[in-house]
Amino acid sequence: MILLEFSMSPMDKGESVSDQVSRSLKIIDESGVPYKLNPMGTVLEGEFDEVMGVVKQCYETMRSDCKRITCGIKIDYREGKSGRLESKMASIENKLRLSRRKIRKTGI
């Protein structure tokens, strides 16, 4: 399974691009693919065709009324792992919590 984060913006619509971004978010939301929004992009979870299909749909829609588009995509594939949209952060936060407890106990 893949975690794919992407952000896509028009370059020719001025400083604020939230109209175009919320239109993309609507596409993402209606795709049925599990996702999480963050201040710098959206993280999707699924197989390659599934998640890239959502990116493509956002691109085709944005292309219909934008002359220049910039898009950054980051993929993290890990064999046999699903549910990482939740578990990846939980695993790191757990380690952080444990190391804090250890610090408190040893009085450092």
Instruction: Kindly tell me which residue out of 31, 33, 41, 61 binds a copy of itself, with binding defined by CB under 8 A.
Output: 41
The least distance separating a copy of itself from the CB of residue 13, rounded to whole angstroms, comes to 8
Give the number of C-alpha atoms closer than 13 A to the C-alpha of residue 77, restricted to the C-beta side.
4
Burial class from Cβ neighbours inside 10 Å (0-12, 13-18, 19+) for residue 13 reads middle
Residue 108 interacts with a copy of itself (CB under 8 A): yes or no? no
Angle between helices 18-31 and 48-63 (to 10 degrees): 140
Q: Tell which positions 47-76 bind a copy of itself, by CB under 8 A.
A: 48-49, 52, 56, 59-60, 63, 67-76
Angle at alpha carbon of residue 97, lines to 95 and 99, rounded to 5°: 70
**Least distance (Å) from a copy of itself to the CB of residue 40?**
4
**For tokens 């944005």, what's the residue?**
62
Cα separation values, 6 from 35, 51, 103, 107, Å? 11, 10, 37, 42
Number of residues that bind a copy of itself (CB under 8 A): 55
* 101 interacts with a copy of itself by CB under 8 A: no
**Contact residues for a copy of itself (CB under 8 A)?**
3, 5, 7-9, 11-12, 14-15, 17-19, 21-22, 25-26, 29, 36-41, 43, 48-49, 52, 56, 59-60, 63, 67-79, 84-86, 88-89, 91-93, 95-96, 99
